Structure 1
Amino acid sequence: MARLMEWAHAPRISGIGYVAAYLAVALPFVMLDFLWLTLMGPRLYQATLGDVLRPNPNLWPAAIFYLIYPLGLIGFAVLPAYQEGSMLRALALGFMFGCFSYATYDLTNHATLRNWSTTLTLADICWGSVLAGCSATIGYLAVSRLFAGHG
């Protein structure tokens, strides 16, 4: 009951705050992942997967992923951390969200795809965890600054 009362008095965001939170999470997520894929794509993914990769990626599924994933980070990391006023909670929850979601993808691929390697699995899970943790933290900081004193 005490936790419910705490939540009822937690700082709130609405309207433009959700848009700001989304952009504050999505932009660094996409930019950092683009940098990672540009640097590590040839070294890690292409080297491991070879001819399994498309020569020209299908961009629609990627676009949908990059539109949806930040919503998960906001719901499972940024907003809970904001309600507690804890940047470290945003980092930890974002890291865990990234770890679990990337592990689901990578371990399934490791179990089912012949070319998928342990190195690729471990590198991609670590990257997804760091990427999600950093993006959630940036989102938390943006929302906290935007709504400082509103609560």
Structure 2
Amino acid sequence: MKWIIAFGVAAIVFGLLDGLWLRWAGPNLYRPALGDLLAAKFRFAPAALFYVIYIAGLVWFAVRPGLVYADPSVIMAGVPLAVLNGALLGGLAYATYDLTNQATLKQWATHITLIDIAWGASASALASGLATLAVLRSGY
């Protein structure tokens, strides 16, 4: 049950954050900087697959260590570790994507890379920390 809670909370938090971010950043940041590199229409299937895989990664690499090393007498004990691991995983994942694009595509703006890495680290940290806290508070 704790893994369902962790996955569900991480998915909701990350999904809401990323949805809000993409609604703003798509027309205001990505479209002006990347133009024709962006698809004309959003492709739901690859996005859904990314979110399922990525949230599973957050749960395994960030939430799980936060739960394993949590002190049962201190409700917040594992949260800082989950936040740190979530930030590291998010930064790594987004850096992999953006730096690969910057290395291989004709047009990829450095400011997009820097903003994306910061965004991935921040959103992943928050989703991981809140998912860990939710599991710890649930008593599982």
The two structures have a TM-score, normalised by structure 1, of 0.85
Larger Cα Rg: Structure 1 or Structure 2? Answer: 1
What is the number of equivalent residue pairs in this alignment?
Answer: 133
How far apart in 1 are the matches of 2:79 and 2:121?
A: 16
Give per-residue Cα distances to partners, 1:19-43, cap 9 Å, x unaligned. 1111011111111000000011111
Structure 1, unpaired ranges of 5+: 1-15
Q: Does the residue aligned with 1:51 lie in a helix, a strand or coil?
A: helix
Letter in 2 for 1:139: A
Deviation at 1:115, TM superposition (A): 1.6
Partner of 1:51 in structure 2? Answer: 36
Instruction: Tell me the distance in 1 between the aligned counterparts of 2:79 and 2:3.
Output: 18
Between the aligned partners of 2:37 and 2:96, the Cα distance in structure 1 is: 20
Identical counterparts, % of pairs: 41
| Correspondences of 1:1-151 after superposition (within 5 Å) | 16-85=1-70, 86-147=78-139
TM superposition score normalised by structure 2: 0.92
Note the C-alpha offset of 1:107.
Answer: 0.3
Q: CA deviation at 1:91?
A: 0.6
Task: State the shift of 1:87 in Å.
Answer: 1.1
Instruction: Give me the CA root mean square deviation.
Output: 0.9
4+ residue runs of structure 1 moved beyond 6 angstroms? none
Unaligned regions of 5+ residues in structure 2, if any?
71-77
Classify the secondary structure of the residue corresponding to 1:32. helix
